[in-house]
Amino acid sequence: MVEALLANARVVAALGARSIRQTFRRPQLAAPIVVFPSLLLAVQTGGAGRAVELPGFPEVAGFLDFMLAGAMIQSCLLAGNSGGIALALDLEQGFADRLFAAPVSRFAIVLGRLAGTAALGALSALYYVLIGLLFGVTFEEGLGGIALMVLWATLAAIAFGSLAAALALRTGTASVVQGMFPIIFVILFLSNAFFPAQLMLEPAATVAQYNPLSFVVDGIRDPVISAVSGEGAAKALLSIAGFAALGFCASALALRRRLRHG
């Protein structure tokens, strides 16, 4: 039992490492994780910085302080989606059959992909922390807060990755998973990732207020702009757990279906 667990853990690590290498070797997988959020961060911070002066805008030292969490969550969503695209490419190109024909747990193969996505989520979070430090963001909760942000980003990447993996396993088509990009942006803009929900017009304000993604964004943002609260952390954790539960269940069902029906 222990031996089998260790063997599967080794497989997850090896496939995770492959997933990271694959992302860096295929620009179309890496670009969305770093380039798009960075550009959006630069454009919005530069162009809409005076938004912080609006009545009702949270107390922040600068617009970048507010935006950093948005960039992180966008990066995590796109990292998850890139992982899904890569998994679908494996299915399309037949590489997944090589993995499925090996004597390892087939779910370990999906977990390997998610391990890579988790690492990419953590790396991108660290990248945005570095951007923040370079451009004068004050992290109110210090190093502990930064660690918490990286943790939320990593867990969020796993959760979003599991949803993309489910879609990849269900459809086996990279273009379908890639087609999620616009939907991801709609979901992002209907959250508080880039603008405070309380300052939005209806019905967007209500949608953003109850969008679970907003709770995850708050979990990442709180250590930067204010203080970490138990309630905020619990909401972030529950939201991530919800996304993950949905993603893992859907992935398990899609994998089962694929293996049964071919």
Partner 1 sequence: MSAIEARDLRRRFGDGVEAVRGVELDVAEGEIYAFLGPNGAGKTTTVRMLTTLLRPTGGSARVAGHDVVAEPGRVRRAIGVALQEAALDPLMTGRELLHLQATLHRIPRREGRGRAEELLARVGLSDVADRRVGTYSGGMRRRLDLATALMHRPRVLFLDEPTTGLDPVSRKTIWDEVRRLNREGTTVFLTTQYLEEADQLADRVGIIARGRIVAEGTPQELKAQVGKPHLEIAIAGDGHERARAVLARYGRELPATDGRLLVELSDGASEVAPIVRALDESGIAVEALELVEPTLDDVFLAKTGEHLED
**Does 262 engage in binding with partner 1 (CB under 8 A)?**
yes
Which stretch in 45-53, 88-96, 127-135, 163-171 sits in contact with partner 1 by CB under 8 A?
88-96
Instruction: Provide the CA 56 distance to its chain's centre, in angstroms.
Output: 28
Among 1, 53, 55, 94, binds partner 1 (CB under 8 A): 94
- Which region among 72-80, 86-94, 141-149, 175-183 touches partner 1 (by CB under 8 A)? 86-94
Write the binding mask 95 to 124 for partner 1: x where contact by CB under 8 A, - elsewhere.
x-xxxxxxxx--------------------
Indicate the residue among 249 and 259 with the shorter CB distance to partner 1.
259
CB 75 within 8 A of CB 37: yes
Q: Which is nearer to partner 1, 67 or 79 (CB)?
A: 79
**Residue 138 in contact with partner 1, rule: CB under 8 A:** no
User: Residue 69: CB partners within 8 Å, gap ≥ 6?
Assistant: 149, 193, 217, 218, 220, 221, 224
Task: Tell the smallest beta-carbon distance from residue 104 to partner 1 (Å).
Answer: 6
Q: DSSP label at 137? A: -
- Nearer residue to partner 1 within complex by CB, 104 or 236: 104
Tokens of 27: 């620009």
Polymer length in residues for the chain: 262
Burial state string for 192-202 with b = 16 or more CB within 10 A and e = fewer than 16? bbbbbbeebee
Report d(CA 53, CA 74) in Å as an integer: 24
Residue 46's SS3 state is: helix
Looking at the Cβ atoms of 17 and 42, the one nearer to partner 1 is: 17
The window from 8-16, 121-129, 142-150, 180-188 that contacts partner 1 (CB under 8 A) reads: 8-16
Alpha helix positions (H), the chain: 2-25, 27-47, 63-93, 95-100, 106-134, 142-171, 174-178, 181-189, 204-210, 212-225, 230-261
Report which residue type is found at 45. Answer: T
- Please say which residue, 170 or 221, places its beta carbon nearer to partner 1: 170
What mask, x for binding partner 1 by CB under 8 A, covers residues 13 to 52? -xx--x--xx--xx--------------------------
Contacts to partner 1 by CB under 8 A: 7, 10-11, 14-15, 18, 21-22, 25-26, 90, 93-95, 97-104, 259-262
